[in-house]
Structure 1
Amino acid sequence: MLDSVLRVFGKDFDVEGFLKQYPLSIPAEPYSKGEPDLLGNPNIDSGFDALVSEQIEPEDNLAHVRVFLESSTEAFEALKTMGMTCIIDIGCTVDAQEQCAQSINIPVDIMALCCKLNISIEFSAYSSVAAI
């Protein structure tokens, strides 16, 4: 399973104002500076996370990411102007019993679009429940 999550954050980010001005095609989960994070530590920034795609096949997942980025360029241009940090976090489930993890090819056009819109790409690996 592959999940692609958009993470946007910054020190003085008016998340609610941004999401009102630039409504996204996917639900966003906002958080505020100073509020406790998942581990109970205070957030040092304000921001939001939004699930862009949840697919089994990498090609399908990345196709959803491409469509989302292409349909949201105005919002990302605004975020770039505001100096916010934008990350597409591609997370995969890894079975500890397998000798090799799956390879994921990020097409050049997606990397170019991320570069143009000032979006970093991050990879996260999570152990499958069966492997724990």
Structure 2
Amino acid sequence: MAELHGAVGILFAAATGMDDDMRDLQRDYLADLRQTVVQMREHGRGLTSNFKSAFPALLFLAHQLKGSGGSLGFPRISELARKMSEELNLFLDEEHASRPTPEELSQTLMALSGELESEIAALWSAAAMPPRPSD
């Protein structure tokens, strides 16, 4: 957790001279990420009933977050997305002995998306920046 607060302090501290545009990008990203997490949770729950559409959507969202989190200065977001991506790819591995069932995959992804929600909340809290109002 200390690593998180240190990174957030560096990212959001006005004293660092960080470009206002970058802070705005980060703020917008975190605000948008909340909706992405909602989508991930919906698709995660849908793995047991609507697998054919939920699974590819989850693969896409996890891949997208894996790259975007780190590029905007949020390595923990990328790490959680990488874990999601690994779990999804493990499901595709027919040769893997302990391949999860759709129900197990759903539970794992729900737990990881919960961690992602907590990370977003911690970033907002540590930065003392409320989300920007919707336009």
TM tier relative to shorter chain: under 0.3
Give me the TM-score of the superposition, normalised by structure 2. Answer: 0.25
Query: Which structure features the higher share of helix residues?
Result: 2
Alignment TM-score, normalising by the size of structure 1: 0.26
